[in-house]
Each structure stands twice: as C-alpha cells, then as structure tokens.
Amino acid sequence: MEKLIAGKTVQVNEEGYLTNFNEWNKEIGEALALEAQVALTPKHWELINYIQTEVKNESPLSIRKIGKSGVVDIKDFYALFPNAPLKTATKIAGVPKPASCI
C-alpha cells in the first residue's frame, strides 16, 4: 500500500514498514521516528546507519547482535528506543522487520 510520509509517497506493508529501501531518506526516517515518539539524537543515527549497513550485507539482525555492535549495549538500545527497540529502529531505518527466523 501507499503512504504519504514527509511529503513523499512511498510503498509500505500492512505494518508500516517501507518495502523499498530506495524510497527512504532522512526526512522519512525523522517522520517515522516522530510517529514512534522517538526524538532522534546523533546516537540514534549512528545506530540507524549500522542497521542499514547490516541489512545491505544480508546479515540477520537481532537484539543480541545490536548489543555487540560496538555502537550501543542492549541497555542503551532500550534507552534509545524504549518500546520494542529492534522493530522500531528497523522501521525508522526503512528496512524490513527482522524475521527472528524460526
């Protein structure tokens, strides 16, 4: 489905995740963060960049992995994104929701 975010029409899935990362930009990230009630700081952006790089390298994401990323530990990750941090952070980053594969 289509959604108007930060003045741009983008494709999202039923949960609001962007389906095409090429449509993402910083303004969209900021608008999505506002929706999730997160005020983005430089630390947030550092983590968002890390997440985008990992996804680009097809490396599966998990909370454990973020904790070992060298960007933040798990406690800090929760402080940055208090509710369901991995889901919120990936949505803002414009990448798919982690599958936490079965």
Partner 1 sequence: MKSLVILGAGTAGTMMANHLHKKLDRKEWQISIIDERKEHHYQPGYLFLPFDIYQPSNIIKNVKDFIPSNVELIQQRIEKIDAKENKIILSEGEIINYDLLIIATGAKIAPEEIEGMAGSEWQKSVFDFYTFEGALALRNKLRNWEGGNLVVHITEMPIKCPVAPLEFAFLADAFFEHKNMREKVNITYVTPLSGAFTKPKSTAALEHLLGEKNISIESDFAIAEVNNQEKTIVDYGGKVIPFDLLVTVPTNKGDELMERSGLGDELNYVPTNKETLQSLAFKNIFVIGDATNVPASKAGSVAHFEAEILTENILHYIKEEPLSASFDGHANCFIETGHNKALLIDFNYTHEPVSGLFPFLGIGPLQLLKESMLNHWGKLAFRWIYWNMLLKGIPIPFVGSHMKTAGKNF
Question: Could you list the active site residues?
Answer: 101
Nearer to partner 1, 2 or 15 (CB): 15
The answer to the question of residue 87 lying near partner 1 (CB under 8 A) is: yes
Q: Which of 98, 73, 95, 99 has its CA nearest to residue 29? A: 95
Distance CA 93, CA 24 (A): 8
Ranges within 15-74 binding partner 1 (CB under 8 A): 60, 62-65, 68, 74
Give the three-class secondary structure for 3.
strand
* Shortest Cβ 26–partner 1 spacing (Å): 27
The answer to the question of residue 99 lying near partner 1 (CB under 8 A) is: yes
Burial pattern 41-77, b for ≥16 Cβ within 10 A else e, equals eeebeebbebbbebbeeeeebeeeebeebebbeeeeb
* Shortest Cβ 63–partner 1 spacing (Å): 6
The answer to the question of residue 1 lying near partner 1 (CB under 8 A) is: no
Nearer to partner 1, 27 or 83 (CB): 83
The answer to the question of residue 102 lying near partner 1 (CB under 8 A) is: yes
